[in-house]
Amino acid sequence: MKLLVAVDLSEATQVIVDKVRKITREYPARVWIVHNAEPPPDFVEFKTDPLAARESLAKKFHKEHRQIQEIADRLRDTGLDATALLVHGPTVETILKEASDLDVDMIVVGTHGRGAMHGLLVGSISKGILHKSSHPVLVIPTYRHR
């Protein structure tokens, strides 16, 4: 089985990774830990100081890559075939493209459970993936575990 596991590096990430670890005990899998390092739209720093903005983003991306690499390392330590991927782009579309490019069997995402109003106003990454994916999607509720 090939799994793309989308993480946002929040507290929810550990819940998702723990669930993937349990799943892969029963069903051995190849796992890609994917984090989308998308800068916010119209990043203000780019307009005021482009050099400082680039340096700031480089540090942020380096830190995020190190974090997902540590997750993949921990999974490999348990015998799992795991790879860390830091991607850039519109989150839902980028995750779906990676899933397609990697020809995964399933996408695993978490949901923060922020409520209907938040979903209406802001949208939900897991909801977007669920509705647009041609791959099976496992949505893990992470808010119950905190």
- pTM, full prediction: 0.83
Tens of pLDDT, residue by residue over 39-86, are 655 554 555 667 777 787 788 888 999 999 999 999 999 999 999 999
pLDDT at 146 over 80: no
Domain containing 106: what range? 2-145
CATH number assigned to the domain comprising residue 120: 3.40.50.620
Q: Give the model's pLDDT for residue 136.
A: 97
Segments of 1-146 assigned E as strands? 2-6, 30-36, 81-87, 106-111, 137-141
Residues 6 or more apart whose Cβ sits within 8 Å of residue 108: 3, 4, 5, 6, 16, 19, 20, 137, 138, 140
Rg of the chain's alpha carbons, rounded to an integer? 16
The tally of domains found in the chain comes to: 1
